[in-house]
Structure 1
Amino acid sequence: MSSSLAQKLETRAKSLGFDVVRFTNANLPELTGARLQAFVEAEWHGDMAWMPETLTRRKTPTAMWDGAVSAIVLATNYGPEVDPLERLTNKTTGNISVYALNRDYHDVVKGKLKQLAGWFASQSGQEVKV
């Protein structure tokens, strides 16, 4: 990817609310996959059944998309703008967990990812996968 396209992608991603944009190759060190497998085998993933179900593709990104060369890694802070602990001082009302106060972050982030992927595909002529 040209540095010009990378800069445009970063600008576009940040305009959609992503805080961090990085580019890397699609290969993970074997140790990373081995550690993920050990984590799942130790059942530290709790009730997230999708983790063992998707372990193969998470251990090796090229298992998700054969021939993948690079990956765009994005991060966003989905935390509240105010300190949620401040609500605990009001003893006359109940409190709701922070994650339940807003839209499901899976939906919010996936929508932004799809917007960015569509934009990137149109700019680069490359196939993308979200």
Structure 2
Amino acid sequence: MKVMHRYAMSWNALVWSGAITDGRLKMSHDFDCPYCEAPFEVCHDDGHGYEEGVLHHDHCRSCGKHFTFTTSISFYFEPEKADCLNDGQHIWKTRRTYPVEFTRMKCQTCGEERHPTTEEMAAVVAARR
């Protein structure tokens, strides 16, 4: 399962969501002020505004009026083919570690990890010289 940051969406999802209308990505803000409709970005530096089920208080920096808001968190999932989980071949890549003895191989498709074979480990050691 791949959970993406809210701005790390596929091109199709961005178009579908309305964030892309004319081929350009619109800059986002959290919401519009309920009084003056100025774009409003919640300052999350201290964790403010993240907790669900809480009535948060804030004020607009444009009109100076106070308002409340609630937070709703959603997830976006983007499925990808994983042929290696369906009798296909894994695409193994070396994970760089220090010391080299802790090197692991990781499949670029499904994320599975394993110890390198003797031949793979010899190639890793030779490449680091």
| Same fold, TM-score > 0.5, yes or no | no
TM-score range normalised by the length of the shorter chain? under 0.3
Bigger strand share: 2
Higher Rg: 2
> Which has the bigger relative contact order, CA under 8 A and spacing at least 6?
1
Judging by fraction of residues, say which structure has more helix.
1
TM-score (norm 2): 0.21
